[in-house]
Amino acid sequence: MTQTRHYFGTDGIRGRVGADIINPEFILKLGWAAGQVLGGGQGNVLIGKDTRISGYMLESALEAGLTAAGVGIRLLGPMPTPGIAYLTRALQANAGIVISASHNPHHDNGIKFFSASGDKLPDAVEQKIEAMLAQPLTCVSPEKLGKAQRIEDADRRYIEFCQSTIPSDMHFNGMKIVIDCAHGATYHIAPSLLTETGADVITIGDTPNGTNINDQVGATHTDTICQAVLQHGADLGIALDGDGDRLMMVDVTGQVYDGDDILYILAKSHQRQQTLTGQLVGTIMTNFGLETALNQAGIGLVRTQVGDRYILEKLRTEHWTLGGEPSGHIICRNHTTTGDGIISALQILAEIRRTGKDLMELSQGLEKFPQVLINVRLNGAKAADIMQSNPVKNAVREVERQLGRNGRALLRPSGTEPLIRVMVEGRDAEQVQTYAELIADAVRSAR
């Protein structure tokens, strides 16, 4: 039976800065506990972060805890989450630590870990870290304390790795691209990389100040990049989130392409090049229209729980190539070990260059079902209690009865925020909206 985890969620440990567990005292202890579990020795753990102002505080606390455990540290500074995963592997570190709350507002922050292979830590290792948190903190003798050093060329190493995922003779000359870095960890990497490929790059969301990360910009706020693409007459737009592991794209008309659209284009690209291994991996949130379109193309789709860690686990177990989520986490397992917005965008750009088709043409054959997602804040209530309440269960059952085989309803707690997510999918957009509101109202009442 799987042991319950008290601190780790689907994507590490996350919360509001200064409250609960995202505070210097807990993070220092977390660094010490992780050091005990992940191993000692000089220079064994990498630490990178996004652009939140709280990252400085948490980085210092982690550094103190790790060095007290006798673990050496290499500091990367602001670095996309997938860049930290890559560098952990490339620099042969014992582990990589990311200080980020991804797409959340600046007042949240979090800690997530990568193993030496650049993968998310297995549940069993996270459980060992949690168990160690219950032990009293000790300090190694002075001569055994860990040391910290900064990796000065981390940006260049990651840029060159990203460039290596497309043909060396491919360039994007003549393409006008808007890129939105969400005032996050890609602000100093993605624009430079695209410029080096020959593209005409217009950059937004590239002036982080510590508190503006994901603020009306990036993959979670695509209105901004849609307006920029139209304003500049660009060929397309690329929107990343605060830590660079999500991708949304925009075509010349201002239409947004989410993770399901991107996954479809990449699947067809792999199929055309005969590089697709096995089936695609999506989640319970993957649009039924994508599954239908893939099946018509002779490509299977397997669903997992929500969270890229579960997609990665399935891809790794089956030795398959490609998976992703509607939120824009796209995993190109033939290139990297985690969701990577920059690498996924490069694969789409390469397919545009190879075929001469734009995003609209490449997505032909995909007709997504109308899908409505409503987030309901818990306001201190327990998600499990709300979801098990009779009024909520009755509302879900009634919607499922009405939809029959022409849609589905899904209720789940968020793994990263104090929310319950209500999703309804069906063939009729107006009906889907009505049903989603019905369930959301039941959740609010139960709260």
Question: What is the CATH number assigned to the segment(s) 13-150?
Answer: 3.40.120.10
pLDDT in tens, 50-81: 999 999 999 999 999 999 999 999 999 999 99
**Contact (Cβ atoms closer than 8 angstroms) between residue 12 and residue 111:** yes
The Cβ-side half-sphere exposure at 42, using a 13 Å CA radius, reads: 7
Provide the pLDDT for residue 234: 98
SS3 content of the chain, % helix, strand, coil (to 5): 40, 20, 40
Q: What is the mean pLDDT of residues 251-274?
A: 97
2: pLDDT strictly greater than 60: no
The rounded distance, in Å, linking the Cα atoms of 226 and 252 is 9
Q: Tell me which residues are annotated as active site.
A: 102
The pLDDT of residue 416:
72
Do the Cβ atoms of 145 and 67 come closer than 8 Å?
yes
Least reliable range by pLDDT among 86-95, 140-149, 303-312: 303-312
pLDDT at 3: 54
What are the CA-CA distances from residue 437 to residues 403, 434, 445 (Å)? 15, 5, 12
The CATH code that applies to domain 371-446 is 3.30.310.50
Radius of gyration of the chain, Cα coordinates, nearest whole angstrom: 22
13-150 and 259-340+357-368 share one fold: yes
- pLDDT score, position 41: 57
Superfamily designation of domain 172-257: Alpha-D-Glucose-1,6-Bisphosphate, subunit A, domain 3 (3.40.120.10)
β-strands 41-49, 95-99 pairing: parallel
At 4, is the pLDDT very low, low, confident or very high (cuts 50, 70, 90)?
low
pLDDT digits (tens, 9 = 90+) for 381-408: 889 899 999 999 999 999 999 998 888 9
Distance CA 262, CA 280 (A): 12
Mean pLDDT of 165-180: 97
**On the CB side of 266, how many CA atoms lie within 13 Å of its CA?**
29
Give the CA count within 13 Å in the CB-facing half-sphere of 446.
Answer: 24
Spans of all domains in the chain: 13-150, 172-257, 259-340+357-368, 371-446
Q: Are 358 and 275 in contact (CB under 8 A)?
A: no
Nearest CA-CA partner of 331 in 355, 349, 364, 308 = 308
Q: What is the pLDDT of residue 406?
A: 82
What fold characterizes domain 259-340+357-368? Alpha-D-Glucose-1,6-Bisphosphate; Chain A, domain 3 (3.40.120)
pLDDT tens digits, 324-369: 999 999 999 999 999 999 999 999 999 999 999 999 999 999 999 9
pLDDT of residue 1 exceeding 50, the answer is no
pLDDT (tens digit per residue) in 20-58:
899 999 999 999 999 999 976 556 899 999 999 999 999
